[in-house]
Structure 1
Amino acid sequence: MILTGGCLCGGVRWRVESDPVPVVACYCEDCRRTTGNHVACATFPAGAVTIEETTLRWYASSAEGRRGFCRTCGGNLFWTATDWDRLEIWMGTADMPTGLRLSAHEFTASAADWDAIPPDGLPRFERIAPGEVAGR
């Protein structure tokens, strides 16, 4: 499968060639404060992702990881752990259609009080979703 996407201004574009992967809704405080809402993310092997980095900047948001965003429009696109060979892509930045489906909700204990998690029957995890569920 091939997926493409990018930020609002087009300063950062990405392309992934990979098998289909799960998409997880993350309600953690870091994602919420970075984007203003929960995010839907998919994790890919770093080698499967090509990034055109004209305006890409990285921010070390914690000791464990960093976030990639566009310095022009402020669009948040990526997260990666400091010791990982994988890259999480915010699927809201993907060109549609993707053909992917949401598989779980994680960090539900951190969800904002105004953010109602839908009763969709998908697994919910108070903390991080297990690797086999999230494709990590």
Structure 2
Amino acid sequence: MAKGSCLCGAVSFEVAGALPTADGCHCTICRKFSGHYFVSADVPKSALTVTGEENVTWYASSEKVRRGFCRICGASLFFDPPARDWIAVALGAIDGPTGTRMSEHIFMGNKGDYYEIADGLPQHDTIPKHGA
């Protein structure tokens, strides 16, 4: 089980089971949402329990996706495509070791010019995994 929280502690969450591998999204929206690129792991919605859900503000960043952040401290926490059965949790919000690794980088065509990726992981200009 993985546990996470926002910066101020008003929102916490638990993911039942092990976290799957994660991806780093370099799209413009994820970079603006997180302040860099957004690293998250997709988990079944049924595996996620959120405490302090009243403090999560949802922003519809597109017709297919909304993003959840703490309304008090602004911490980026969730990437949710409501029509899907999964939700992505921000690995930066996990308290303690995650027990997982990144598997790929996506939307590299939108990557910021101020950093390089040299970790040897696959790099894609789109999102090959789930098309959200």
Give TM class, smaller chain: over 0.9
Secondary structure of the residue that 1:34 maps to in structure 2? helix
Q: Encode CA deviations 1:36-84: one digit per residue, 9 max, x unaligned.
A: 1101110000000000114111111111110111000011100111311
Contact 2:19 2:43 in 1 (8 A): no
The aligned length equals 130
Question: Under a length normalisation based on structure 2, what TM-score does the superposition of the two structures give?
Answer: 0.92
Tell me, in whole angstroms, the C-alpha distance in 2 between the residues paired with 1:59 and 1:74. Answer: 12
Partner of residue 85, structure 2: 85
Please give the residue correspondences for 1:85-104 in structure 2 after superposition, counting only pairs within 5 Å.
85-104=85-104
Partner of residue 45, structure 2: 46
Contact 2:2 2:19 in 1 (8 A): no
Amino acid at match of 2:6: C
Contact 1:105 1:129 in 2 (8 A): no
- The percentage of aligned residue pairs carrying the same residue is 38
Q: Which moved more, 1:41-50 or 1:121-130?
A: 121-130
Amino acid at match of 1:7: C
What is the deviation of 1:19? 3.8
Tell me, in whole angstroms, the C-alpha distance in 2 between the residues paired with 1:67 and 1:54. Answer: 15
Give every structure 1 segment of 4 or more consecutive aligned residues whose post-TM-superposition deviation is greater than 3 Å: none
Tell me, in whole angstroms, the C-alpha distance in 1 between the residues paired with 2:40 and 2:128. Answer: 12
Amino acid at match of 2:61: S
Unaligned runs of 5+ in 2: none
Tell me, in whole angstroms, the C-alpha distance in 2 between the residues paired with 1:17 and 1:123. Answer: 28
CA RMSD of aligned residues (A): 1.4
Please give the residue correspondences for 1:1-136 in structure 2 after superposition, counting only pairs within 5 Å.
2-52=1-51, 53-117=53-117, 119-131=118-130
Tell me, in whole angstroms, the C-alpha distance in 2 between the residues paired with 1:76 and 1:35. Answer: 6
Secondary structure of the residue that 1:73 maps to in structure 2? coil
Cα distance change of structure 1 residues 20 and 93 upon mapping to structure 2, 3 Å threshold: closer
Question: Under a length normalisation based on structure 1, what TM-score does the superposition of the two structures give?
Answer: 0.90
Amino acid at match of 2:22: V
What is the deviation of 1:115? 2.4
